[in-house]
């Protein structure tokens, strides 16, 4: 390995913005901030929430209902 070309390796502290969980990982940055972590992500927790701001879910349900009747 060449000297002086590799970045410094740190034990980084990761902070989740959603649930404020903190844990450490190896990284080239000393601290990291993430929006969603494995403690609050729906895939890992099994709890899925649907955020519907414009009524898109209801419109989809209506289209699905119409297509199943026809």
Q: How many residues does the chain have?
A: 70
pTM of the model as a whole = 0.52
pLDDT given at position 67: 87
Please give the Cα distance from 20 to 25 (Å, whole number).
16
Question: What are the residues whose beta carbons fall under 8 Å from the beta carbon of 25, sequence distance 6 or more?
Answer: 11, 12, 14, 32
The pLDDT tens digits for 21-37 are 899 999 999 999 988 88
Per-10-residue mean pLDDT for the chain, 70 residues long? 87 89 92 84 68 75 84
Please give the Cα distance from 37 to 1 (Å, whole number).
34
């Amino acid at each position: 390995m060449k000297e002086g070309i590799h970045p410094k390796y740190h034990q980084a502290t990761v902070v989740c913005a959603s649930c404020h969980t903190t844990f450490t990982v190896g990284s080239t940055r000393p601290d990291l901030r993430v929006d969603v972590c494995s403690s609050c992500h729906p895939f890992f927790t099994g709890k899925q929430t649907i955020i519907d701001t414009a009524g898109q879910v209801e419109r989809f349900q209506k289209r699905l209902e119409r297509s199943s009747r026809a």
